[in-house]
Amino acid sequence: MNPIDKKEIFKIRNRVHRVLAESYSLYMLNLILGLILSAVWPLKVFQNSTFVDFSAFIIFFSSVLILWAQKSSEKLKTENLTKKSFMNGPYRYTRNPTNLGLFLLIVSFGMLVNSFFVVLFALIAFFVSRLFFIKKEEQLLEKKYGAPYLEYKKTVKF
C-alpha cells in the first residue's frame, strides 16, 4: 500500500470521527425512543427485580470500559506501526470497546429500569452500528494505517 500524504490522513481522521459520532448518536436516539415507547407502553423485561444488582454492576463496568477505551486510544503511536501498536488497553480484546461499552451501558440501564423497549432498541442500535458505522470506520482505518491495521484485525476478531 502506498503511503498517503498528511492532508489525506487528516481527511480520513475527520471522517473516522464523524462515523463514530454518528454511531454514538444512534445509541442516544434509540435510548430516547426506547424511553418514550416505555412511557407509552410500559412492557417489562422481567417480572421480579433479580437483575437490578447485576445491571448496576454492568453499568459501572461499561462506564469503566468506555473511559478506558478513550484513554487508550490517545496512546496510539503512529510511527513504526505494527499490529501491536493498536493493542492498547481494551483494544487488545475488541476493536470497538467504546461501541461495546455503550451497548452494555444502555442494555443494563434498560434492565435496571425494567424497560423492554430500551433493551430492544439497544440491540437494534448495536446491530445497525456493527453493520454500517463500524464497517465504514474500519474501511477508513485500513486506508489510513494499511497492513499493520489489517494484521491487527486478523488478531482481534471482534
CATH number for the domain harbouring residue 125: 1.20.120.1630
pLDDT(148) > 70: yes
pLDDT tens profile 1-21: 445 666 666 666 678 889 999
Cut 0.75: pTM above it = yes
Residue 113 resides in a domain: yes
Counting DSSP H helices and E strands in the chain, the numbers are 6, 0
Contacts 24+ apart (CB under 8 A), 118-124: 118/31, 118/34, 118/35, 118/38, 119/34, 119/45, 120/34, 121/30, 121/31, 121/33, 121/34, 121/37, 122/27, 122/30, 122/31, 122/34, 124/30
pLDDT(59) > 90: yes
pLDDT tens profile 71-87: 998 877 777 888 888 88
Neighbouring CB atoms inside 10 A of 29's CB total: 12
Residue 72 resides in a domain: yes
User: What is the total count of domains within the chain?
Assistant: 1
Residue 1 resides in a domain: no
